[in-house]
Amino acid sequence: MSESDSDHDRAVELRAQIRAHNEAYHGRDVPTVPDSTYDELLRQLEEIETRRPDLTTADSPTRSVGNAPSELFSAVEHRVPMMSLDNAMNLDELNAWHERIIKSFGENETYGFVCELKFDGLAVSLRYENGDLVQAATRGNGRIGEDVTLNVKTINDIPHRLENAPAVLEVRGEVYLSISRFEELNTEQIDKGDPTYANPRNTAAGSLRQKDPSVTAARQLSFWCYQLGEVVGGPELQSSEQTFELLERLGLPVNPEVEEFSDFTEVWRFCESWMVNRHTPDYEIDGVVVKVADLAQREILGSTSRAPRWAIAFKFPPEETTTRLTAIRVSIGRTGRATPFAVLEPVFVGGSTVGMATLHNEDQVSAKDVRPGDTVIVRKAGDVIPEVVGPVLAERPTTSMQWVFPTVCPSCEENLERSEGDANTYCINRRCPARIETGISHFASRNALDIEGLGERTVGLLVEEGLVEDAGDLFALTKEQLLTVLVSDVTNETLVNNLLTAIDQARECLLPNLLIGLGVEHLGPSTAELLARRFGDIETISTAEITEIAAIDGIGPVIAQSVKDFFSDAHHRAVVDKLRTNGVRLDLVEGEVDLPQILAGRSVVVTGSLDGWFTTRDEAKQAIVARGGKSPGSVSKSTYALVVGADAGQTKLDKATDLGVPTLGEAGLRQLLATGQLP
């Protein structure tokens, strides 16, 4: 086959592939390949067509943008075409664009360059006539788009009426979904057991192209404007700055991160700085758009059939790529939740190498239909956990089989359970080594008790040797035990000593950290703090009524229920008992404890020694005083109750009986502290 034939064949193949991706991306809002792969195909086609102009066709995707409008919406012809942008994949390509501009005007001309963020959403054109929003259209193929007026009118950022506007004003910009809203929507999807949305861009596109505007409204889309289309009347505009001023004055949302430079090195700096900080905004950006600022210069530079010559998109490195999914495994968390995850052929994406990605739960695996052996699209944006977006179906091996969720726990081999209406599957074996390990690692982690030297590996060894079954056991570990278990691992005895010191220091832990460490579901640092301040110690929290917990400002019924459920569980109570026995403080709260003064005006005498909930009599007295009560040393007729510990003196008991003062054991005291009432 001659070279010209192979160029021809390759061009035909590339056009077919690009058209198929266009259809999927713009028409159905589902990605088939990452953007970077799409861009690469387009570049290859451009390269062939530039080298071999005889091979270009009038309908080549290099000459148009996007995709033909769908039948769902009526067609809108753009009076000024909506163009795409050429890309610069690195600073060299950006410089090449700069060189071309200089060449067009000569060295002596002065230029201003506006740098704007490149929003990753979908372009729409808003048409205002005499100030009224009369039409909104998608880009479509650049010439003909889709009428999405009703849907666009549900976007809060977009005014329906502009005051003192030109007779006709077409405003172009990007409809997008904020990252926080995207995450909220996905949490809702997971809770409902529905498939998650792939990324904010596709979700925004899918949300805008709905037949029912109330669906669009519920998604809560946003908008940034960056460009004008047809304009009739209004002030004479000469620069980008004046354009943005006008848009802003009319009440349209203009992104604040726009900067203008005359020195091109400043343009590089802007691009590089945003590449590093691309995840700081609450919306996705995939590059920087650099534009010639002067509108007359833009006019002179003009456009190709696809994109203006006066602008270029400096693209950031992709955060999506493809790799092979070699296996799907299940990990067991501290609550026993079995989370499926993908084992991937390691791939560099979003700034780091990714070898695993979460698949959330059984329904998510089915919804995405990812299978071992699939080539999958992997996405890693900033610090977020890497995600499998979906399979590249075209590359699925014919022998592939659907993955089935395991029936037994991979760690303890007991049966896994999934109850009806719950998207999650659980290992319910409390003694499951994986559960114990993750539970203890969580307990020792930075946000909880922050026990230095107690990483996952050490915890694994301790669990394997049967030395710890729950967090309470950590505080009974001896140096000898640690040396025998860790000796091959930790050659240095001082490391064992350090670990013991760290464990000892953790005895003085703050109550909110302890609550987090124990793993009360739904409790975060601030809600744990609220609970600690309101109740003061773990005993009181564990006996508090749901209504009392829910009455705390900032704590809702879900957390209240979760706290109640947690402490109703005998296993959790046993762990707390063990912590207490092993000398861990359960009542340390920083700052003012804001306990309800339920014992105000009451005097409660404590006698004998206490060794259950309260390690000393003093602790019991403090708890009474902290609730507004008094705890004098002797019984009188004004005594509200007498708490009787072990080996209590007979005198106080007799006196209480004489005066009719009720006597309580330790359980009674706990109830009194929690409710202010006698049992």
Write out the catalytic residue numbers: 118
Q: Comparing C-alpha atoms, which of 286, 264, 310, 272 is closest to residue 95?
A: 264
**Binding of residue 284 to ligand IVH (CB under 6 A):** no
Dihedral-angle region of residue 140 (phi above 0 means left; psi in -120 to 50 means alpha; beta otherwise)? left
**Binding of residue 313 to ligand IVH (CB under 6 A):** yes
- Assign 3-class secondary structure to 89-101: CCHHHHHHHHHHH
Give the up-direction half-sphere exposure of residue 468: CA atoms within 13 A in the CB hemisphere. 30
Q: Comparing C-alpha atoms, which of 383, 388, 366 is closest to residue 321?
A: 388
Nearer to ligand IVH, 85 or 530 (CB): 85
Nearer to ligand IVH, 302 or 583 (CB): 302
**Binding of residue 94 to ligand IVH (CB under 6 A):** no
In the set 49, 116, 146, 374, which binds ligand IVH (CB under 6 A)? 116
**Binding of residue 34 to ligand IVH (CB under 6 A):** no
**Binding of residue 270 to ligand IVH (CB under 6 A):** no
Q: Which part of the chain contacts ligand IVH (CB under 6 A), choosing from 80-88, 105-113, 273-281, 659-667?
A: 80-88
Sequence-ordered strand ranges (E) for 442-548: none
Q: Are strands 663-664 and 639-644 parallel, antiparallel or unpaired?
A: parallel
Residues 288-307 binding ligand IVH (CB under 6 A) are 289
In the set 14, 85, 509, 560, which binds ligand IVH (CB under 6 A)? 85
Of all residues in the shown chain, the one whose CB is closest to ligand IVH is 123
Q: Which part of the chain contacts ligand IVH (CB under 6 A), choosing from 115-123, 241-249, 540-548, 643-651?
A: 115-123
**Binding of residue 152 to ligand IVH (CB under 6 A):** no
Residues 207-226 binding ligand IVH (CB under 6 A) are 226
Distance in Å, CB of 270 to ligand IVH, minimum: 13
In the set 155, 254, 311, 560, which binds ligand IVH (CB under 6 A)? 311
DSSP helix/strand/coil, 525: helix
User: How many angstroms separate the CA atoms of 645 and 665, rounded?
Assistant: 7
* DSSP codes of every residue in 39-59: HHHHHHHHHHHHH-GGG--TT
Q: Answer yes or no: are the C-beta atoms of 370 and 355 closer than 8 Å.
A: no
Nearer to ligand IVH, 119 or 426 (CB): 119
**Binding of residue 278 to ligand IVH (CB under 6 A):** no
**Binding of residue 673 to ligand IVH (CB under 6 A):** no
Q: Answer yes or no: are the C-beta atoms of 228 and 244 closer than 8 Å.
A: no
**Binding of residue 320 to ligand IVH (CB under 6 A):** no
Size of the site for ligand IVH (CB under 6 A): 14
**Binding of residue 119 to ligand IVH (CB under 6 A):** yes
Distance in Å, CB of 251 to ligand IVH, minimum: 19
Q: Comparing C-alpha atoms, which of 327, 328, 291, 295 is closest to residue 311?
A: 291
For residue 415, the tally of other CB atoms under 10 A from its CB is 12
In the set 35, 170, 174, 537, which binds ligand IVH (CB under 6 A)? 174
Distance in Å, CB of 313 to ligand IVH, minimum: 5
User: How many angstroms separate the CA atoms of 163 and 161, rounded?
Assistant: 7
DSSP helix/strand/coil, 140: coil
Which parts of this chain interact with ligand IVH (CB under 6 A)?
A: 83-85, 116, 118-119, 123, 174, 226-227, 289, 308, 311, 313
